[in-house]
Amino acid sequence: MDILWLDQNDVRSILELSAVMEAVEKAFEQHGKKKVQMPPKSYLYFDKHNGDLRTMPAYLEEQDVAGVKIVNVHPDNRAKGLPSVMALVVLNSTETGQPLAVMDGTHLTDLRTGAAGGVAAKYLARKDSHVVGIVGAGNQAKTQLMALSLVFDIHQVKVYDISTDRAEGFRGDMMQKIGAEIIVASSVEEVCGCDILVTVTPVREPVVRSEWIRPGTHINAIGADAAGKEELDPMLLTRAKVVVDDIVQASHSGEVNVPLSDGVITSGGIWAEIGEVIAGIKVGREDESEITVFDSTGLAIQDIATATIVYTAAKERGLGRSLSMF
């Protein structure tokens, strides 16, 4: 029995962000229509190493594709020359259970996370959004901005990171890619004067204050993806229409997890899952002054939908290396 091994070069040569956005949008829609199986992520916490490891299984019933991602988050990895987030995806045959492919999931994670932000903003942000604010200029920030640039006509980007070098590096990398003015800001407050705010840091205490956010802003809250993490002042959630990617997962590990357990908000304060908005079951933005928040924890269906693009194209193009299992 053979398994196809696809390394990061193979994955990079296949995946285009626009195709990943399409796949993620469809996967969210299927989730909204309850046509997926996706138990919540399970976590191992390596507290003494400031990191964790997650397993994320999913089955997209209409496409009949299934698999599991294994992914870590170790915020101190950069000093060791490694990305904070690294992943592996295994795709299985739904007919026999046979493992079909094992692939690098690191680049795939960056793209599918950016795609989720771009898709959510398409449904929740004002159409005339031109100014993007970014808090945290790491790996995920790049694909967040690239995905937004495929949906909106971005004129200006303001970026803040506790490391000015990182913010400067981000500016250098992204300026040519998206063709907009990029300003390195000196505070989070400065960044908050925008149409779409992206928070994408590993912080465990809020860094964005409610009073800094003006009416009409859309926020993609990406960084909080484990219990105890939060980036936004919980009072902001009481002023906003809050849309999560998955209610069970978000309640455990998303931006809403701490405000829910502290009783600042209740589950009734969560408007919808993004798939319900995409499927037309719930409305998205209703007026120009609404503040909207997309709470992304990252769903296994995003990974399996994206990995399926990679596997299908790799088979067509003869990419990857065949490994023998028995």
Ligand X SMILES: NC(=O)c1ccc[n+]([C@@H]2O[C@H](COP(=O)([O-])OP(=O)(O)OC[C@H]3O[C@@H](n4cnc5c(N)ncnc54)[C@H](O)[C@@H]3O)[C@@H](O)[C@H]2O)c1
Dihedral sign of CA atoms 26, 31, 33, 37 in order: positive
Q: Is the CB of residue 125 less than 8 Å from the CB of residue 292? A: yes
Beta-carbon contacts of 314 under 8 Å, excluding residues fewer than 6 positions away, are 4, 6, 10, 14, 101, 320
26, 34, 48, 69: the catalytic one is: 69
For ligand X, the closer of residues 93 and 163 by Cβ is: 163
Total binding residues for ligand X by CB under 6 A? 30
- By CB under 6 A, is residue 92 in contact with ligand X? no
Nearest to 191 by CA among 209, 170, 172: 209
Cα dist from 88 to 56, 74, 91, 106, whole Å = 10, 15, 10, 7
* Known catalytic residue at 69: yes
**Residues 170, 319: Cα–Cα separation, whole Å:** 31
127 is in an annotated binding site: no
- By CB under 6 A, is residue 75 in contact with ligand X? yes
- By CB under 6 A, is residue 199 in contact with ligand X? no
Residue choice 6, 66, 135, 191 for contact with ligand X (CB under 6 A): 135
Compute the least distance from the CB of residue 69 to ligand X, in Å.
11
- By CB under 6 A, is residue 206 in contact with ligand X? no
Q: Is the CB of residue 303 less than 8 Å from the CB of residue 277? A: no
Compute the least distance from the CB of residue 293 to ligand X, in Å.
13
Beta-carbon contacts of 105 under 8 Å, excluding residues fewer than 6 positions away, are 69, 70, 71, 86, 87, 88, 89, 303, 307
62 — phi, psi (to 5°)?
-65, -40
Range 24-53, binding ligand X (CB under 6 A): none
156 is in an annotated binding site: no
- By CB under 6 A, is residue 163 in contact with ligand X? yes
95 φ/ψ sector (left φ>0, alpha ψ -120 to 50, else beta): alpha
Residue choice 25, 29, 225, 276 for contact with ligand X (CB under 6 A): 225
225 is in an annotated binding site: yes
Q: Is the CB of residue 91 less than 8 Å from the CB of residue 100? A: yes
Residue choice 4, 14, 196, 222 for contact with ligand X (CB under 6 A): 222
Which of 19-27, 121-129, 157-165, 258-266 is the region at the interface with ligand X (rule: CB under 6 A)?
157-165
223 is in an annotated binding site: yes
Q: Which residue has the tokens 């490391």?
A: 163
112 is in an annotated binding site: yes
229 is in an annotated binding site: yes
Which residues form the interface with ligand X (CB under 6 A)? 73, 75, 78, 84-85, 109, 113, 135-141, 160-163, 166, 200-203, 207, 222-223, 225, 296-298
Residues labelled as active-site residues: 69
Annotated binding site for NAD(+): 112, 139-140, 223-225, 229, 296
